[in-house]
Amino acid sequence: MISRREWWRRIGAGMGQMGLVGVMQQALGANPLAPRRPPLSAKVKRVIHIFCNGGPSHVDTFDPKPALTKYAGQPLPTHLRTERRTGAAMPSPFAFKRFGKSGLEISEVFSKVGAHADDLCVIRSMHTEVPNHEPSLMMMNCGATQQSRPSFGSWVVYGLGSENQNLPGFIALCPGGLPIRGARNWKSAFLPGAYQGTHIDTRETELDKLVANVQNRLTAREDQERQLALLAAMNKEYAEQRAEDQALEARVQSFELAFRMQLEAENVFDLSKEPASIREPYGDTLHGRQLLMARRLLEKGVRVVQVWHGAGQPWDTHDDIAKRVRNLAGESDQPIAALLTDLKQRGMFDDTLVLWGGEFGRTPVVELPAFGSNNGTAGRDHNSYGFSVWLAGGGVKGGTVHGATDEFGFRAEVDRVHVHDLHATMLHLLGFDHERFTFRYAGRDFRLTDVHGQVVRNVLA
C-alpha cells in the first residue's frame, strides 16, 4: 500500500531529495483533488469535450468537398485502403453555407452551431492511426491505441485537482449505457483511482442512479447527522491516543465531504433550478438536458466534463448518411449552440475549452454492402487518414480553419494534426508543457503524449 507520504513523494518526485515532500503534504492535506495551479500560464481552467462517438463524417459536417460532386458515382483518382470495402465517390447530401464574419463553411445540419462560427476553430487536418473504433477511441481519450494509459481527463485532474470537493473532478456523461470500450475511455490507469472519470447515465432521472450511493436511504438526514457526530467523537478519542497521524484525520474529513456531496449532488443535477429562459434554448431533449447538466457541473467547478452522444457508437454511420447524420446532428445542433451562448452569458466562455469531435472521420467514398457491416445504403466507412474537430473557448483563435484534407477529404494533407498534437495543444491551453507533465510508473515517466505531440500554435489566439 502506498502511504500518503509515498504518494507525495511520487507527485513531487523531484523534490524528494530536498525533503520538501512532507511540507507539501502538510500544505495540501491528503486530498488528491485539492485544486492546484498549473506550472505555466493557462488560458482555460476547465474542459468540455462533446464526443460524437462512432466517427462523425467530416465531409458532411465541417469539411466541404465540392470535388466529390464532380466524381459522384465514379472512382476517385486516389483511393486509400479502407477497413471495409468501399466504392465510388459519394458527395455530401447536405448543402454547406458560409457563416459569420469569418465565412466559415459549415454543413446545413449544424446551422445553429454555425451561428457561432466566429468562435470556432475547425481543425480539418486531424489524423489518427487505425480505422477501428476501439484503438481510435483509446487514442483520442488516452493517447495510446492499445496499452492502458490514463485518459485526458484523468491527467488534467491529476495536474489541476478540482475546484469543487463535493463532486468528482472528472465526469463522463453518457446516456443509455456505455460507449464502446466502456469505462476505459475515462480511466485513470496507473494514476490513482481518485482521477478516474465518473460515469453518469444521463438517461436516468433518479439521483441515486446518477451518482452511486449519493442518496441516503438508510436513515433520515437528522439521524445521519447524529451518526456523524458520534463518529466524530469516537474518531477524536481514537486519534488522541495516536498523535500525528494525518491518515486518521483525512478519513474523518472524507465523511464530512461525503455528507456535503449528498447535498451538492441533489442540487447540481436538479435542472429545474435553472430558469426557463436558460432551459428553453437547450431544449427539453436528452441532449439538451445533458449539455445543460454539463454546464451546471462546469460552473460548480468540475474540471473536465465529457459529453458522449450515446451508448455504443451512434455516429458510426455505415448507412444512410442523408438521414442518420441529419438526425444525429439535429439532436445536438441546438443544444451545443445553446451551450456556447450560455457559457458566454456567464462569462465562462473565456476560461473554458470546448472540444467537439469523434475518434476519427469517414470516407468520402461509399461503403459497399457486407454482412455484419452495413446494408449498403449510401453510408461511409471509417477514416483515420483525415477528419475534423473543432475547438472553442479561451485561448482559441475563433472563426478560423486550421489545416486541410486532400481534394476529396480522404487524407489530411496540409498542416496535419495528429491526436497527440491536439492533446499537446489542449494541455498547453490548460497551462502544461505536455513534455514535462509526467507521472513516474514502472520505471518510466509517462506522458499523455508519450514521445509525440507538438502544440498547434496556429489555433491559439
Partner 1 sequence: MRGEGVPRDPRGPRCHPEPARIAEFMEYPLAMIKALEHKPRHRHKGPSGASVSRHDTLPVVRALLLVFLPFSLATAADAGSDYFETKIRPLLAAQCAGCHSSKLASPMAGLRLDDPASLRAMVTPRNANASRLIQAVRYETKGMPPAGRLPQAEVDALVRWVEMGAPVPEANAAAPRSAAAKAKAAKEHWAWQPLTPGAGSIDDQIAARLGMEGLSMSAAADHRTLIRRLSYDLVGLPPKPGDDRMTVPQAVENYLASPHFGERWARYWMDVARYADTGFLGRAFLIPFRYRDWLIDAINRDLPYDRFVAFQLAADQMPDAAKADHAALGFLSLGANPNRPEDLPDVADDRIDVVTRGLLGLTVTCARCHDHKYDPIPTRDYYALYGIFANTRYAQPVHISPLPPFYEKRAELRRQIRRAYILERLEELRAEFREPKEARRYLEALWKGRHLSGSALESLAREKNLNTLVVQRWAARLAQRADWREARESPVEMYLAKLTAPPDDDWRSLLRGPSAPPEVPEEDFASIQTEGDANTTRDLQWQFEEVLNDATYRGATGVIAGAHDRATIKPAHVFVRGNQNDLGEPVGRCFPTVLAKEKCFTPSGTGRLDLARAIALPENPIAARVAVNRVWQHLFGEGLVRTPSDFGVRGDLPTHPELLDALAAEFMQDGWSTKRLIRRIVLSRAYQQASGDRAEARAKDPENKLLWHMNRRRLDFEALRDGMLAVAGRLDPKIGGQPVSIDTMPADPRRTLYTIVEREKPLPLLKTFDVADPEQHSPQRYQTTVPQQGLFLLNSPFVGEMARALALRSASVDELYRHAFGRKPSPVEANRAMAFWERAGAVAAVTGGAWRYGTAAFDPSTGQVDGFTPFRYFTGRSWQNASAGVDPETGVARLTATGGAPGDDLRAVAARRWIAPADAILEIKGRLVHNVGALQLRFKLSNGIRGWVVSSRQGKLGRWRIEAPPPPKDHLSYQANPGVDTNLTAIEVKAGERLDFIVDSIDDYEADGFSWAPVLKAADGRTWDARQDFDGPPFPRLNGREQLAQVLLLSNEFAFLD
Binding to partner 1 in span 187-216, by CB under 8 A = 187-190, 192-194, 196, 198-199, 211-216
* Cα distance between residue 35 and residue 32, in whole Å: 9
Only one of the segments 101-109, 343-351, 353-361, 428-436 lies at the binding site for partner 1 (rule: CB under 8 A); that segment is: 428-436
Residue 346 binds partner 1 (CB under 8 A): no
Residue 75 binds partner 1 (CB under 8 A): no
Residue 240 binds partner 1 (CB under 8 A): no
Nearest alpha carbon to residue 229 among 255, 262, 247, 260: 255
Residue 74 binds partner 1 (CB under 8 A): no
Residue 84 binds partner 1 (CB under 8 A): yes
Least distance in Å: CB of 214 to partner 1? 6
Nearer to partner 1, 72 or 257 (CB): 257
- Choosing from 120, 139, 261, 298, the residue that interacts with partner 1 (CB under 8 A) is 261
* 364, 70 contact by CB (below 8 A): no
Nearer to partner 1, 213 or 345 (CB): 213
Nearer to partner 1, 347 or 443 (CB): 443
Residue 317, helix vs strand vs coil: coil
* Cα distance between residue 304 and residue 294, in whole Å: 9
Q: Which three cell numbers stand for residue 102?
A: 469569418
Cross-strand bridge partners of residue 405? 412
* Cα distance between residue 50 and residue 45, in whole Å: 17
Residue 397 binds partner 1 (CB under 8 A): no
Q: Which three cell numbers stand for residue 69?
A: 460532386
Residue 450 binds partner 1 (CB under 8 A): yes
Nearer to partner 1, 244 or 272 (CB): 244
Nearer to partner 1, 211 or 355 (CB): 211
Size of the site for partner 1 (CB under 8 A): 133
Residue 222 binds partner 1 (CB under 8 A): no
User: Which ranges of 128-220 does DSSP label H, i.e. alpha helix?
Assistant: 133-142, 152-160, 207-210
Residues 353-392 that bind partner 1 (CB under 8 A): 369-376
Question: From the CA atom positions of the chain, what is the Rg in Å?
Answer: 23
DSSP 172-192: EE-TTS-BTTGGGGG--TTS-
Least distance in Å: CB of 243 to partner 1? 4
* Cα distance between residue 452 and residue 149, in whole Å: 15
Residue 7 binds partner 1 (CB under 8 A): yes
Cα angle 257, 263, 268 (rounded to 5 degrees) comes to 110
Nearer to partner 1, 276 or 442 (CB): 442
Nearer to partner 1, 120 or 424 (CB): 424
Residues 139-168 that bind partner 1 (CB under 8 A): 146-148, 159, 165-166, 168
Residue 421 binds partner 1 (CB under 8 A): yes
Phi/psi for 414 (5° steps) reads -100, 130
* Cα distance between residue 295 and residue 301, in whole Å: 10
Residue 235 binds partner 1 (CB under 8 A): yes
Least distance in Å: CB of 218 to partner 1? 4
* Cα distance between residue 185 and residue 139, in whole Å: 9
Burial 434-452 (b: 16+ CB within 10 A, else e): beebebeeeeeebbbbeeb
Residue 374, helix vs strand vs coil: strand
Nearer to partner 1, 275 or 372 (CB): 372
Nearer to partner 1, 59 or 448 (CB): 448
Residue 225 binds partner 1 (CB under 8 A): no
Binding mask 27-66 for partner 1 (x = CB under 8 A): xx-xxxx--xxxxx--------------------------
Nearer to partner 1, 111 or 262 (CB): 262
- Choosing from 222, 242, 275, 276, the residue that interacts with partner 1 (CB under 8 A) is 242
* 321, 238 contact by CB (below 8 A): no
Residue 234 binds partner 1 (CB under 8 A): yes
* Cα distance between residue 385 and residue 191, in whole Å: 31
* Cα distance between residue 367 and residue 376, in whole Å: 7
Residue 266 binds partner 1 (CB under 8 A): no
Residues 316-345 that bind partner 1 (CB under 8 A): 319
Q: Both ends of the chain: CA-CA distance in Å?
A: 45
